[in-house]
Amino acid sequence: MKLNCTQMRQFFSSMATALRRGLRGRRFYWALALILLLGFLLRLAVCLQLYHSAAVQSPLPVTDMATYRRLALEIRQGNWPAFFDYQPFYYSIFLPLLYVLSPGGAPWPVIAAQLLVGSAALWLVGLGAAQLYGRRAGCLAALLLAVSQFHILYTPYLLLEVLQSFWMALIFYYVLKAYKKNRAADWLLLALFCSLSTLTRGNALLFVPGILALLVYRNWPLPKRAAALSLLFILLFYLPQLPFSWRNYRHFGRWRGPSTAQDKVLALGNSPEAPPGGLEYPRSYQLWCSQSDEPDPAKRVSVSRQMLRRLRHEPLLFLELKFRTLLLFWDRGEIPNNISLHAALRHSPLLRFFLPFALLGSLGLAGLFYSLYPFKGARLCLAYAILAYCLGTVAFYMLARFRIGALPLLCIAGGGALRLLLPGIVPDADGQLRRLRRQKRLLLLLLAVFVVNSAYANYQRYLEPAFMRRFLPYGIALDHPQELVFYDHGPLSFGGSLLWPLEKQQSLLLEKEFVIPPELRERAEGRSALVWLRVFCDKNAVFKAELEYEGQGQPYFDLHADRMNQWLRFELPELNLQDGVVTLRFKLQAIQGEFAVVLDQYRKYQRSRLQNQDGTLESLDMELCAELQIPK
């Protein structure tokens, strides 16, 4: 066995030596060019398979893709919008220039351009990884991005993700170049690239503090040069944004930057009811947005101020939500929006053979761990870039496509991780030291695999319910100007929703308690209320539903669509609290068709009960998705 291990080490060492010699001189660039060609051809093949799909040819009007196309064609005809809601570069500059080739808005110019910028990102990733970890890592990193499932998937669609991934690769390459050569032109080009990237998607803004710190550090012996370059950097960063910001200022009469959507996207991921991922528009989102758009400056409250207020009053709940979003950023699962991998696979079977995020994310996170220690300036730049992109996304809300911009950075880190992990790659004189280093790296790799593949699911299942019982004992309690709202379930998307289907002619009795916080009990006592019960039913469903309260039955008065879900609504003429508790019973019967009631398996307050066949009530280890709304 010892001989076999020795032979294996010798084999890998000889392979590493051969690979190192094979990539000397110009041969590295030829190898990188072959990988670029491979990536281009793979993307072209998938684009041809997806070209005639509905999402490419005629996206649904409710999607961002249709909005980008409509705005770009209007701008192409000279009809500029009154203000810029989305980050404007993609639909106001990039797409109108491409539609010169196709005034009707055909998808082929966009696909061709995104093929080119996506392939260019491969080249930049290879060069960047080679500077950090060596040429073998450069080829490995470029190869990872070349066969990345999600990077290939987004190429033919009218979305800015591939362009943003190119900006990330270009910015990081120029960070390394400017750090190494310290030429003024490189720093100023970097400012311009950061500005265009920020105009494409705003989370690139977090790159600027780190780059400015690096600029000052690199020019520390020359303080006047450092100050002058910093001022020019800031000027060039904001100058391309100025026309868009000025147009928004003229429309609203106040400074709102190049995009007016900041408050909306912050509210999506930071309100008391916000989910960690996906798009959900609950009551608190609507309230925060209406308060931020208040015409009267004295009554206006920005969403960022609302966030700070929530952080001050509910610090643990706010930070826990951001922690869940952070776990979701690294989670292998897809959060579809505009397009989905599942739908694309029906048109492009080739997509299933590429590397999923489960693998790329694991390697990228392992590479991030390896970049933190030992301290090396260029590798710390990579760690900062990944963390800045991650936190810039987590600060808002999470969708699968928001990770596409980070894929070049993750592939650089992943290529470096592979180089450090493969046997024979690092020939240390001390065999014991080599083994210790490899064992530490393997442990960090296992940690990365756990985080990407199961951390979010395990946190939801085992830790989130106990955290909510401890720090949110009354459930969600909303004190809004128009209403009081109480419920125990979590987010409707990326929560613990579980359907409880009823068979034909089956009856079900569920009891639900609402515990009103002490400070709101007096205001709830004696008031009329609406009760919402979340259900699922098809259009042919026939069912009965009755709410029993204090011995009185109330049938449901409508089946209401709200927050992309179905709700049965009941009226209560008067609330009589018993020690702050409202106890309701729902009697449900399915007659025909599909009908199910919804529960949340990740909320366990022990306030939902089911009636057994013998008439006794059994406590459920989950909560009924019901809400108590008290109009003011």
Q: Is residue 195 part of a domain?
A: yes
The residues facing 513 across adjacent strands are 583
- Domain's final residue, options 454, 484, 515: 454
Using DSSP's 3-state secondary structure scheme, residue 297 falls into coil
Q: Is residue 9 part of a domain?
A: no
pLDDT score of 472:
97
pLDDT score of 377:
83
Q: What is the pLDDT of residues 387-404, one digit of tens each?
A: 999 999 999 999 999 999
Q: What is the pLDDT of residues 415-453, one digit of tens each?
A: 999 999 886 544 444 667 777 888 899 999 999 999 999
pLDDT score of 13:
55
Report how many domains make up the chain: 2
Backbone angles phi, psi at 148, to 5 degrees: -70, 125
Helices 262-270/315-330 angle, 10° precision:
100
CA distance 52 to 133: 41
pLDDT score of 3:
45
Same-domain status, 442 and 503: no
- Domain's final residue, options 454, 487, 517: 454
Task: Identify the domain containing residue 40 by its residue range.
Answer: 29-454
pLDDT score of 376:
83
Cis, bond preceding 107 (omega within 30 deg of 0): no
Using DSSP's 3-state secondary structure scheme, residue 512 falls into strand
Using DSSP's 3-state secondary structure scheme, residue 540 falls into coil
Same-domain status, 286 and 194: yes
Same-domain status, 239 and 343: yes
pLDDT score of 1:
43
Same-domain status, 431 and 499: no
Q: Which residues of the chain have pLDDT under 70?
A: 1-25, 423-431
pLDDT score of 4:
59
pLDDT score of 2:
47
Q: Is residue 344 part of a domain?
A: yes
- Domain's final residue, options 454, 487, 503: 454
Q: Is residue 110 part of a domain?
A: yes
CB burial of residue 413 (10 Å; 0-12, 13-18, 19+): buried
Kindly list the distances between the CA atom of residue 292 and the CA atoms of 102, 249, 473, 562, in Å, as whole numbers in the listed order. 39, 16, 29, 23
Same-domain status, 447 and 564: no
Give the residue ranges of DSSP H helices in 23-160. Answer: 27-50, 54-57, 64-76, 89, 95-98, 108-133, 135-146, 149-153
pLDDT score of 435:
79
Same-domain status, 411 and 503: no
Residues near 434 by beta carbon (within 8 Å), at least 6 away in sequence: 426, 427, 428
Q: What is the dihedral of CA 82, 88, 92, 94, to 10 degrees?
A: 180
Same-domain status, 84 and 226: yes
Read off the CATH number of the domain in which 606 is found: 2.60.120
Q: Give this prediction's pTM.
A: 0.93
Chain-centre distance for alpha carbon 445: 23
